[in-house]
Structure 1
Amino acid sequence: MIGFDTNAPLESLDDEITDGHVGNVIYLGGWEGFDKVRSTSEHLEGLVSDASTGGVGLIIAADQEGGIVHQLRGEGFTRPPRALDQAQQSPAELTEAAAGWGEEIASAGVNLNLAPVADTVPEEIGTANEPIGRWGRQFGSDPEVVGEYVAAFLDGMSQAGVEGIVKHFPGLGRVTGNTDFTAEGIEDTVATVEDPFLEPFVAGMDAGASMVMMSSALYPNIDPENQALYSSAVVTDLLRDRLGWDGVVITDDVNAAALSDIPAGERAVRFIGAGGDIVLNGDPNATGEMLDAIRAEMAADPAFAEQVEASVTRVLTLKDEMGLLPCSAAS
């Protein structure tokens, strides 16, 4: 999944889709106004062909959580409140509100909302939690309550025909640093495989989340060596095997500061090797290096090639459910 910056020319991703066969796009940088987003989505949809994408439609995504995180704004888009404020209403009321927000972005051609946040921020940490708590991106401090609102948000998006996800597995609520901007303070020394803070993620999976987004933090009680997105102990052993998730797993933006010391190609290869599926790459200029690295690793390692094939199957299964395959019942 590659980033489409709001300031980039309309045709800026054409080569990546038609020649590089990239199948997923995310709007980044704050897109102003419904008409601009709708016309760009129509342009992207027009690039779908047998030659470019095998006739398979694109996942077109946006971050539309609410509060500080709303990539689609201006005329035609409602700015949802931050999650802490969303949780001041009942779950049923949130579902109704989320359905309205979902209808707006669906009309603009967006079929995936990279929301909601399923992280639980303890009261004693609160705003000291830089990535989530500081901005009120969490639904609360009680994982059971958070799970109820995660499910309610997803239900509303689904009613509007928009897929949702849960993020940032296995949870960013206890860290202090923000992985987008620093490599410091992004360790959760409390989380284990029996962490109650996993409950909102399970609630979201049960409620129909289409993807699980991985955290870029370190969880030493689960894997002392690898950040979550590169950890088979987290992605495969915990998420897939222990919690039973057989759907799509996606990274947070791999251009984050927390990953900056790792070569671009290695970022992609290590994630897939850990059991992941979609690499979210906000920098289109890194796409070629990532694709080359994946192809080289497939040629060198049959087991890795099998992992890629399994990932392709999971993504195509989701796209079939979204009506994006030529033979999809919903298409």
Structure 2
Amino acid sequence: MTVAEQAGQLIMTGTPLTDADAVTSVMKRNHVGSVFLHGRSGRTAASLKKEINRLPSMTAGDATIRPLVSIDQEGGQVQSLRGGTWGYLDDAQEQGTWTSTRLAAVTGQWAKSLAKAGITMDLAPVADTVPSGTEKRNPPIGVFGRQYGSDSAAVADAVATVTATLHDAGVMATVKHFPGLGRVTKNTDTSSGVVDTTTTTDDAYLRPFQAGIDAGAGAVMISSATYEKIDPDNRAVFSSTVITELLRGEMGFQGVVMTDDVGAAKAVADVSPGRRAVRFVEAGGDLVLTVESSQVRTMMTALSSRARQDPDFAAQVEASATRVLELKDEAGLLSCE
């Protein structure tokens, strides 16, 4: 791969769920390797798959590399495909009260439907634990019932079950939002200066993330909040302390590390789009998610330009692209002639 092609593999661009292949020209122009289907729809798996099949693949040597296709399918208010043949999935707070047998059975049903539609990655499960009684003061997770519970051990069990079941259905799980958004009082999507003053590097609330990793998570999504007791000087998404030292080092995760949305999120609005991508990869991350496809060119150019100027950064880009390709191989998206 050229440097630009490697950089393109490090970007996941948003595209409307109702028009999945609308981003085709952006992908071709910028070698983009992954897409995120955003919005809500009750369209059939068959109609969605037709559009997903039209998304461009890449050729490298004798290999054909198809794009990762991701979606937010958690349940409750965060269920992108709903109604019609999809039905309605209870939110995670309710799912957390089920037995592991029931949770696995229900997850398996809708995971197979995602795979049938051509979706190879779910931006779930949520591994954030929200302390009991604080749900209404936790806008990103608790307000929407996105947590499996208020006990980290129970949340860990649910996360492990969902992660393993998704994997068995051929859908890569994404454990989020590391190292946790369950104790913040603002939402990184809509607010700047989101700070967690509690979480530490040996916090019990990290157990659900470890459980997801141990269960075979394909990716871990990094929060855009700042964690005062881990790295007070950097937002997690730009922190090598969080990504390289804690997640990869202490917790042993060697898969794909991705951002939460850094396209429209207020938490990173003070950093230019190109710098968002570069700073994340510098910190040890791999896959940059932007719901704004208009930012893709800037991000890809910033990554490839920096790689051409800095051999150490070029090595990071190559290592990250390799991890993304390994995930694609696991998802059945690589084929060789």
The residue number in structure 2 matching 1:2 is 13
Could you tell me which of 227, 231, 248 is aligned with 1:219? 227
Alpha carbons 1:21, 1:53 under 8 Å: kept: no
SS at match of 1:55: strand
For 1:200, give the aligned amino acid: P
Could you tell me which of 38, 41, 61 is aligned with 1:28? 38
Q: Which has the higher contact order (CA 8 A, sep 6+)?
A: 2
Could you tell me which of 241, 252, 258 is aligned with 2:260? 252
1:191 aligns with 2:199: yes
Greater displacement, 30-39 / 158-167: 30-39
The residue number in structure 2 matching 1:119 is 128
Alpha carbons 1:193, 1:238 under 8 Å: kept: yes
Could you tell me which of 59, 68, 75 is aligned with 1:59? 68
The residue number in structure 2 matching 1:305 is 314
TM-align CA RMSD: 1.8
The residue number in structure 2 matching 1:83 is 92
Q: CA deviation at 1:11?
A: 4.8
SS at match of 2:187: coil
Count matched residues: 324
Could you tell me which of 124, 128, 131 is aligned with 2:140? 131
State how far apart, in whole Å, the 1-side matches of 2:248 and 2:295 are: 28
The residue number in structure 2 matching 1:239 is 247
For 2:86, give the aligned amino acid: F
Q: CA deviation at 1:49?
A: 4.5
1:164 aligns with 2:173: yes
Could you tell me which of 284, 292, 303 is aligned with 2:293? 284
State how far apart, in whole Å, the 1-side matches of 2:85 and 2:50 are: 13
| Counterparts in 2 of 1:296 and 1:53: CA distance versus 1, 3 Å | farther
| Counterparts in 2 of 1:162 and 1:53: CA distance versus 1, 3 Å | farther
Q: Which residues of 2 match residues 172-183 of structure 1 at below 5 A? A: 172-183=181-192
| Counterparts in 2 of 1:19 and 1:55: CA distance versus 1, 3 Å | farther
Which runs of 5 or more residues in structure 1 are unaligned? none
Alpha carbons 1:95, 1:154 under 8 Å: kept: no
If the length of structure 2 is used for normalisation, what is the TM-score?
Answer: 0.92
The residue number in structure 1 matching 2:28 is 18
If the length of structure 1 is used for normalisation, what is the TM-score?
Answer: 0.94
Q: CA deviation at 1:247?
A: 0.7
State how far apart, in whole Å, the 2-side matches of 1:97 and 1:28 are: 23
**CA shift digits 1:182-216 (9 cap, x unpaired):** 114x2111111111100000000001110000000
Q: Percent identity?
A: 44
Q: CA deviation at 1:52?
A: 12
| Counterparts in 2 of 1:82 and 1:69: CA distance versus 1, 3 Å | same
SS at match of 1:22: coil
Greater displacement, 199-208 / 316-325: 316-325
Could you tell me which of 198, 207, 228 is aligned with 2:215? 207
Greater displacement, 266-275 / 316-325: 316-325
State how far apart, in whole Å, the 2-side matches of 1:11 and 1:168 are: 27
The residue number in structure 1 matching 2:51 is 40
**CA shift digits 1:219-240 (9 cap, x unpaired):** 0111111100100000001000
The residue number in structure 2 matching 1:100 is 109
State how far apart, in whole Å, the 2-side matches of 1:53 and 1:265 are: 31
For 1:288, give the aligned amino acid: R
For 1:39, give the aligned amino acid: K
State how far apart, in whole Å, the 1-side matches of 2:22 and 2:60 are: 19
Greater displacement, 71-80 / 193-202: 71-80
State how far apart, in whole Å, the 2-side matches of 1:317 and 1:157 are: 17
Q: CA deviation at 1:137?
A: 0.3
**CA shift digits 1:43-79 (9 cap, x unpaired):** 22xx224279961011111000001101112322132
Which runs of 5 or more residues in structure 2 are unaligned? 1-11
| Counterparts in 2 of 1:325 and 1:109: CA distance versus 1, 3 Å | same
Q: CA deviation at 1:299?
A: 1.8
State how far apart, in whole Å, the 2-side matches of 1:5 and 1:28 are: 5
Q: State the 4+ residue runs in structure 1 displaced beyond 6 angstroms.
A: none
